[in-house]
Each structure stands twice: as C-alpha cells, then as structure tokens.
Chain A
Amino acid sequence: MQIAITGRGGQGVLFLTRILTECALRLGLEVIASETHGMAMRGGSVISTLKVGPYRGPLVRSSQADLILALDDGSIETYAHLMAPTGTMILNTPGPNSSPAIDATGLAAKTGSPLMANLILLGFALKQKKLFCDYSLAESVTGDISPERFREANLKALQVGYSTGNAEGQE
C-alpha cells in the first residue's frame, strides 16, 4: 500500500507518519517512509510518503498512491497527481466535498486543541477503513509515542475523528 500525507508545515504531518510507520512495524509489515524537513516546514507545503510492502525506495510516483490524507485543502492540487485511479483522498476541509471529508480543523478548535486536526483526520480515515491497520492498533501506537503532556488530548482527537467518521458513514 502506498500512502501520501500532505499538509502545511506545522500541521503535524510528521507525527502521523510516525504513527503509521510504527503501526506497520507492529503488524510485521515492511515499511519505508519519506518526510519533509528543513525550510519547507515553515508554513510551506509538506508531504510524507509511506510505502508498506516489499518496496525499497521511499517516494511515491505519480498515479500510484492508494490513499492521500490531505490536511491542508489549499494544497490538494499540489499533490493530486500522486493518486492512483483507484485511490482515495481523505480531506480536511470545512465544506462538503466529493472525497470523504471532515472539518478536522474546526473540530479541533471546538475541542480546545487546534493543533490536533492531524489526529482527527487520522481517526476519520481509520473509520473509513482505508488504511492497512485498524483503530485499536493506531490508538495504542498513538498512546505509546505521544509525549506525556499531549497524550490525553491526542487520544481524544483520534477518538473524535473516529466517531465523526461513524456519523458520516451512516448518511
């Protein structure tokens, strides 16, 4: 499975990458991921790519991503070319969308942790069953790798995304 996680510097793309690579490891799957560090992290477009399976190189080629988790709706066009014809984009955006979408930023602000939109989006994606791992694994990994002072808020955000995914799914 080939995954891209996209957003702006500061939105927590790297943290999602850490969670998903750790999930793959615990499932005994081979995984290699590429991250954006350096200048682009200052509010510029950032992308992580994750390849789960017998791959060697960390980058995802055009039209090969099975899943894109898009944290910044302003940079969809920047990375849309990566998506496979059969792939899915899961989007953080306030308005309705043709892709599965959730207002993760709005929900995060409501829960009092504006920086947790990343985990809300991940929770939502897990509910859509578009990932190689399930909620309980992602939850235990998130708990394990979160710094102590953010652990509770991170787990809450993951839960918010997951339960919102439920409501949307029933519509």
Chain B
Amino acid sequence: MKKILLGNEAIARGLLENGCSFAASYPGTPASEILSSFLQMAKAEKTPAIGEWSINEKVAFETALSVSYAGGRAAVSMKQVGLNVACDPLMSSAYTGVKGGFLVISADDPGPHSSQTEQDSRMMAVMAKIPVLDPSTPQEAKEMIGLAYQISEEFEIPVMLRPTTRICHSRQGILLKEIPAPSLASGFSKDPQRWAATPRYRFTLHLQLNQKIEAIAEKFGKDSFRKILGSSNARRCIISSGVALAYTYDILQELNLKDEITLYQVKMPYPLKAKALLAEIGSFEDILIIEETYPVIEMQLAMRGRLKGRLDGSIPSQGELVPDVLVESIRNFAGIPEGKKGLIPGKARRPTLCPGCPHRPAFYAIRQALPQGIYPSDIGCYTLGLNLGAVDTVLCMGAAISQAAGLYYAYRMNGEAPPIVATIGDSTFYHAGIPALINAVHNGAKFILLILDNSTTAMTGNQPTPGLEMLADGRTGKAVAIEEIVRASGVQNLTILDPYQLESMIQAVKEADKVTRSEDGGISVIISRHPCLMNLSPGQKQKSYGLEITGDCIACEICYRDFECPAISLNPQSGMARIDQNLCSGCGVCVQVCPQNAIKNNNSPQRGQRTPR
C-alpha cells in the first residue's frame, strides 16, 4: 500500500519497519518531525517502541547509543548543527562501536533555509570514520534504513543517514511495509576494554575501526554505485548523490541529454569503493560530480585535473543546488548554450514574530529601557527580535549567555561597560544555556538576562520543553522549573513577569540594570513568561480585545515600524495606521505602545472570543 508521507514521516516509518526500539532527538528544522512521527506511528501501531525529546542533541545521542550498547536497535535524529553539539559522543562511539543497530540521522540544510551554516554532515561521518547513506527521495530514505541497520549490526558501527531539507520536507507516495516487533535490548555485556577503554586500548579500537571501514567499502561499495540513466556510448558522465541527483535526473530528461550523458548515483558517499568506481568511469572523457554541500565524493576520488565539480568551480561552492543552478552547470558541462533568461525572482517577504507574540513586547521593553545596550541573543523564533533592533548577535545554541559574559569582560578591561541585555528562549536555555549561566555567575560577570519563556519550542513546531509535564509521547513527566535552575545557579536578582504588562516590563529592565551595576551586583534574570499563541490548547484561549485606530492617529509609525506588529500597517488613503482584523490577535499591547492614545479597545476583553492564529 502507498501512502503520502512527508520525508521525515517516511524516515520515522522506516525506523519502525526495521525494528527500531528507541529514538531520541532535539527539535531542529529540517529534522523535527522525525521523532514526533516515530512516536505517533508507534502508538497507532501499538508497538512497544519508545522515544524522547531530549534536552539537547548530545544527551539524545548518548541516551540512544546506550540502548544500542545494551543490544537494542536505536536511532538519534537532529539537524546538522545539532550534530556539532553531539560531535563528542559521535567521534568516540565510532571507536567503541555499537551492539544493537545504531542510526545517526543528521539532516542538512543547503541554502541555508533555517540554519546558521550549510555544513555537510557527510564530512562529519568521514571525520568519525562511519558510513553515511545519502537518499535522493523520501522513498529512498525509508529504504536505506534497512541497509543502515544491516551494516551497523554486522560491523558494530554507528551508521549515518544524511537527508537534506528537500528530502525531509518533501511529500511523496511511500510504499508501506509491515511493522515488526521492535528489536529490543538483549542486555548489556560488560567489556571494559571496549566500553570504558583507556587511551591504550583506544589505539586498538582505532585500528579495528579502520579495518571495519575498509571492509564496509569492500562489501557494500559496489552496490552503492549504480547507473541511473544513459547509454554505453556516452562520452560524458555525471556522478551524483542526494536530492541533487533527483534534479539532475529531471534536467537530463528535460534537455533530452540522456544519450549523451550517463548518470550514476552514489548511495553511500563514504566509504567509497574508489577503485571500482574509477574503473567504471575511467573511459569517460568528461566527468562531473554533483553533490551537496561539500565535495565529499570528489575528494575521495582524488583525480584532480580529470574531475569537474566543486573543486574546479564547475559547481558553485555555496548555496543550495536548486534546479535553476544545476541546469546551467549541466548545460556548460554538455557544451550546450545557456538557456533563455526569464524573469528574475522577486524579494521574499521577511518573516516576523506573529501578531500577539509575547516576545515582541519583551524586545520592545528592552529597547525602551536601555536603548544604548548591546543585545546578544540566540536561536529560535526570537531571533526575529532582529526586526525590532533588539538582537545584535546570533551565534549558536546557548551562546547569548556566554557572549554576554564575554562582552562584559571586554568592556570591563577598558572601564565602564554599556548595558548588556541577553535574550534566550526557554528551550534554548535548557539546551545549552545552563552551563553558560553557572559559568557567568561563578566568574563574576554582570549583565541582564531575559529568558523568553513561552513554554514551548516554538520555531520548530511547538515541541514540549523540560519545563512542562508533557512528554513527547503524551505521558506525564516531571516539570523542571526555569526559576529553580536560575536560583540554584546562584543568581540573586530574579523577576518573573508577563511581557504583555509592557510598562512593568520596561521598569523591570531598568531596575535590573541598576541592581546589576551596583557594587555587589551580578547577573539579573528576568523570566518573561507568556504562552506562545500558536500553542494554546483549545480550552486555553486568552483575552482578546477588539482594537481600533481612532482619528487621533498621526502616523508616527511606532506601532508598525518600531513595535513591528504585522497586523498594523499604514493606510495610504487615510494617512493613518490601520489594523488588519484578519491578522490581529487582539492582544491589546499596541494600546500601551501608542504615544497618542490613538488605539482604542472597542470592547472589554472577552475570554475566548477569537482564536489566536
């Protein structure tokens, strides 16, 4: 039976069809739906497979790995920058190896669309010396999981599956197979020289790892390389992998080049069976390699001078290999003239915080209270505080707090520091903010930290955080309160406020600045707490006001430019602001923002009258 599935759902289905007993993840685009789909499907199919949203990718990796140590089939999924966080256990687990099949799913984001980097997880697999499979469609991603578990168990090695955004977020008819009982843990067998190896034994483990990777290339390398299109008398060939292969296939068909160019797919870019591959392609006059995003296949073939690809500039070194980019590269390669230039794509609308988003008044308050401040921030919806001029740095998960400390030290060496106001979301705080906060308190840094607590991981689709009792599979767990962690970290000055109370929030930021600057001041923390409007349960509607612009409006632009509410814009006819009632959430914060008192509540708040978008 075929069913339309999102690529991430196909991957989740593939895990269940291959007996995965435990999956862990931390949400991150484009990988987020893998874990939630895994648990939903497991529940629907009544299999005993379980899983969790972990606090971060390192914890997710180590937890899932240990299920494999005990003999169960397991998987960990994350986005590519999440693999950076899990890099430590990744490198070491390649040495220790695994028992039950262990899959590392790292979703790359060429473009990038929702990430800080375009890094290629396949390169991480090369560094760790573990095999990596590179699917070109959602269906293939599902099929590869069986092979991945086979390799993983036969060679006792972690195996990586590397989908990209266009695999994760593509929809396709997927052939479903039966879901067997999961392959549960058989029990942990003690073997200290392996699981607790000291450096002396690590040398042996490294030797074994090298033998494994060579044996895997030997056994699976040939089947991983196959001809997709083309006749035997073609003079040129293209070697490709991942979704770039799918586009290349479409373009060769469209340009009717399939007799002139032979197309090969590489399913396992590492380890390659390079000798066999070179023997197959050696007779072609011209060879082009198309892969995302780094030249992983190209570098292993080591045929400088004969290969075209990223290293000689035939394929651009950055950016997604979308069909519009590839068609020009393929035309050049085939020696056919450039296509007709059509319209140039227009500028896309920039994303904004939603109407009624509680982060908006929090950022606005920071700007109002301390306009001369420096504002380190972090990864999440609230990165969009950029639009309000209240985000100055975005580096990686948790960095807002360590960077606030670093900025403070940088200025302290020169004398007086400007106000430093860091912002971090609740989920990001749990993920990587806690050690940074303890470190900053311990070392005597002085800054203000706003924890933007909307009680969810909003950007990636509202996954639960450790601050809630709800677990990934719907069970009830123990909530770990942010304020308790903050106090336990040694923070003396803590305020908890609803940012919808704009004036109180502005005062609280000013007060925090005073306390922080005092002789024995340190870090002041404000927990800005209001639930995400995208995450309200049906019974949890918030007060909604009927808002209207009155004739007192002088188009000062504060509500739609400085406060940046997407529901308010300039009405060119009247020369005044106007509210789009389809977008307005009725939060009423704009009433407090307007210096002219030109926004009126038409009605007193009515509970649950309007469903927030």
Q: Which of A56, A72, A76 contacts B250 (CB 8 A)?
A: A56
Q: Which of B113, B243, B343, B345 contacts A57 (CB 8 A)?
A: B243
Interface-lining segment among B93-101, B270-278, B300-308, B322-330: B322-330
Residues of B within 8 A of A9 (CB): 351
Asked whether any CB of chain A lies closer than 8 Å to the CB of B350, the reply is: yes
Q: Which of B243, B342, B581 contacts A81 (CB 8 A)?
A: B342
Interface-lining segment among A34-42, A94-102, A123-131, A158-166: A34-42
Q: Is the pair B169, A36 in contact by a Cβ cutoff of 8 Å?
A: yes
Q: Is the pair A56, B249 in contact by a Cβ cutoff of 8 Å?
A: yes
Q: Is the pair A105, B113 in contact by a Cβ cutoff of 8 Å?
A: no
Asked whether any CB of chain B lies closer than 8 Å to the CB of A157, the reply is: no
Given the known A-B contacts A56-B249, A57-B249, are A115 and B327 also in contact in the complex, defined by CB atoms under 8 Å?
no
Given the known A-B contacts A25-B4, A57-B250, A81-B344, are A42 and B351 also in contact in the complex, defined by CB atoms under 8 Å?
yes
Residues of A within 8 A of B3 (CB): 25
Q: Mark B219-243, 1 if CB is under 8 A from A, else 0.
A: 0000000000000000000000001
Residues of B within 8 A of A17 (CB): 171
Asked whether any CB of chain B lies closer than 8 Å to the CB of A55, the reply is: yes
How many whole Å from B521's CB to the nearest CB in chain A?
Answer: 35
| A39–B386 alpha-carbon span in the complex (Å) | 13
Q: Is the pair B327, A61 in contact by a Cβ cutoff of 8 Å?
A: yes
Q: Is the pair A45, B459 in contact by a Cβ cutoff of 8 Å?
A: no
Q: Mark B570-582, 1 if CB is under 8 A from A, else 0.
A: 0000000000011
Question: Which B residues, 118 to 171, have Cβ-Cβ distances below 8 Å to chain A?
Answer: 136-138, 166, 169-171
Q: Is the pair A80, B172 in contact by a Cβ cutoff of 8 Å?
A: no
Question: Which A residues, 78 to 100, have Cβ-Cβ distances below 8 Å to chain B?
Answer: 78-81
Residues of A within 8 A of B166 (CB): 34, 57-59
Chain B interface, >50% SS class: loop
Asked whether any CB of chain B lies closer than 8 Å to the CB of A22, the reply is: yes
Asked whether any CB of chain A lies closer than 8 Å to the CB of B560, the reply is: no
How many whole Å from A142's CB to the nearest CB in chain B?
Answer: 14
| A62–B324 alpha-carbon span in the complex (Å) | 7
How many whole Å from A46's CB to the nearest CB in chain B?
Answer: 9
Asked whether any CB of chain A lies closer than 8 Å to the CB of B70, the reply is: no
Asked whether any CB of chain B lies closer than 8 Å to the CB of A30, the reply is: yes
Residues of B within 8 A of A76 (CB): 346
How many whole Å from A103's CB to the nearest CB in chain B?
Answer: 12
Given the known A-B contacts A38-B29, A39-B29, A56-B136, are A78 and B170 also in contact in the complex, defined by CB atoms under 8 Å?
no
| A165–B460 alpha-carbon span in the complex (Å) | 37
Q: Is the pair B345, A37 in contact by a Cβ cutoff of 8 Å?
A: no
Asked whether any CB of chain A lies closer than 8 Å to the CB of B441, the reply is: no
| A115–B350 alpha-carbon span in the complex (Å) | 21
Asked whether any CB of chain B lies closer than 8 Å to the CB of A146, the reply is: no
Q: Which of A37, A57, A72, A78 contacts B247 (CB 8 A)?
A: A57
Q: Mark B68-84, 1 if CB is under 8 A from A, else 0.
A: 00000000000000000
How many whole Å from B46's CB to the nearest CB in chain A?
Answer: 22
Q: Is the pair B351, A39 in contact by a Cβ cutoff of 8 Å?
A: yes
Q: Is the pair B136, A8 in contact by a Cβ cutoff of 8 Å?
A: no
Q: Mark A136-171, 1 if CB is under 8 A from B, else 0.
A: 000000000000000000000000000000000000
| A9–B166 alpha-carbon span in the complex (Å) | 18
With CB as the reference atom, state the residue of chain B lying closest to A63.
Answer: B342
Residues of A within 8 A of B137 (CB): 32, 56
How many whole Å from B171's CB to the nearest CB in chain A?
Answer: 4
How many whole Å from B387's CB to the nearest CB in chain A?
Answer: 10
Residues of A within 8 A of B349 (CB): 8, 43-45, 72, 74-75, 78
Residues of A within 8 A of B343 (CB): 62, 80-81
Q: Is the pair B345, A78 in contact by a Cβ cutoff of 8 Å?
A: yes
Q: Is the pair A32, B247 in contact by a Cβ cutoff of 8 Å?
A: no
Asked whether any CB of chain A lies closer than 8 Å to the CB of B85, the reply is: no
How many whole Å from B460's CB to the nearest CB in chain A?
Answer: 7
| A8–B249 alpha-carbon span in the complex (Å) | 31
How many whole Å from A138's CB to the nearest CB in chain B?
Answer: 14
How many whole Å from A66's CB to the nearest CB in chain B?
Answer: 14
How many whole Å from B290's CB to the nearest CB in chain A?
Answer: 12
| A126–B327 alpha-carbon span in the complex (Å) | 32
Given the known A-B contacts A58-B166, A81-B344, are A38 and B114 also in contact in the complex, defined by CB atoms under 8 Å?
yes
Q: Is the pair A31, B346 in contact by a Cβ cutoff of 8 Å?
A: no
With CB as the reference atom, state the residue of chain A lying closest to B344.
Answer: A81
Residues of B within 8 A of A44 (CB): 348-352
Asked whether any CB of chain A lies closer than 8 Å to the CB of B381, the reply is: yes
Residues of A within 8 A of B323 (CB): 57, 59-61
| A44–B2 alpha-carbon span in the complex (Å) | 33
Q: Mark A1-39, 1 if CB is under 8 A from B, else 0.
A: 000000011100000011001101100001111111111
Q: Is the pair A105, B582 in contact by a Cβ cutoff of 8 Å?
A: yes
Residues of B within 8 A of A33 (CB): 170-172
| A77–B346 alpha-carbon span in the complex (Å) | 5
Q: Which of B4, B30, B32 contacts A22 (CB 8 A)?
A: B4
Residues of B within 8 A of A58 (CB): 166, 170-172, 243, 246
Question: Which B residues, 257 to 275, have Cβ-Cβ distances below 8 Å to chain A?
Answer: none
Residues of A within 8 A of B351 (CB): 9, 39-44
Interface centre among B114, B327, B381 (most CB of A within 10 A): B114
How many whole Å from A9's CB to the nearest CB in chain B?
Answer: 7
How many whole Å from B296's CB to the nearest CB in chain A?
Answer: 20
Residues of A within 8 A of B461 (CB): 37
How many whole Å from B419's CB to the nearest CB in chain A?
Answer: 28
Closest 10 CB pairs of A and B: A77-B346, A38-B114, A44-B351, A38-B29, A57-B246, A56-B246, A81-B343, A45-B348, A57-B247, A61-B323
* 12 pairs, A vs B, C-beta closer than 8 Å: A9-B351, A21-B171, A34-B169, A36-B169, A37-B32, A37-B114, A40-B113, A44-B349, A44-B352, A57-B246, A62-B324, A114-B582
